[in-house]
Amino acid sequence: MTTQHLSPTARTTPTRGRKRQVDDRRRLMALLTDALVAHLGVTAGTHPVVLPAAFAVDADGPDAGGTLYLHGSVAAGWLTPALERDVCVTVTELDGLVLARTGFHHSMNYRSAVVIGRPRQVTDLGERRRALDLIVDHMMPGRAATIPAPTRKELAATAVLALPLAEASMKERVGGASLEPGDLELTGWAGHVPLRRVADAPVTEDYVADPVPESVLRRVAELGRV
């Protein structure tokens, strides 16, 4: 049974910065819904690698705690090692730069998730198709229903990994710079610079005569929303 509490194990319980720890699983799901890129950490042969990946989240997925789907290639060198041992997936959204009166207290505002576990390769055809649709729709909501289904050749070339969300943690920093008593005696500006994503106007391919769909225009507006 999925609980609304995060960090169920020692591996995903923060040991530093506990005041930034987020315990509410719903906030983790909100971050995974908002973010666009995940980073997969895996030991591939003799060395570790961290790779960006398209992803999608299914809170009601078949794995413990819900399912994080990761997109890859069947020819990728990291695929087999990722299935043989636990991996770590991180997702981070940068929300601001924090400038203090001392370098020690310079920081960043962020939302960050860490998921640890043993992934499985999705082989069931129905689940693979659904997972790929979720990944497309994660980037552009509603897009999967407007394009052709993947062909057999495309499915054969595409790997989908499913990672349980049971073992996950989240941290978040908001607000301005930390203030030490001695900082009041110093001079100079301190504060924070909020950051947000901004999407430019869609650029239509030269061979396309169709107008930009309303769904794309809505997504452009949403991507820059705080």
Residue 155, both tokens? 């499915």
pLDDT at residue 226, rounded to an integer: 47
Helices (H) and strands (E) in the chain, counts: 5, 11
Helices of type H across 35-144: 79-84, 125-139
> What are the 10-residue block averages of pLDDT along the chain, 226 residues in total?
68 79 92 96 91 96 95 91 94 96 93 96 95 97 94 93 95 90 85 92 96 94 72
In this prediction, residue 225 carries a pLDDT of 59
pLDDT at 1: 40
- Location of structure tokens 């509603």: 142
User: What does pTM read for this prediction?
Assistant: 0.90
Q: Give the per-residue pLDDT at 8.
A: 67
Closest to 6 measured CA to CA, from 131, 144, 113, 127: 113
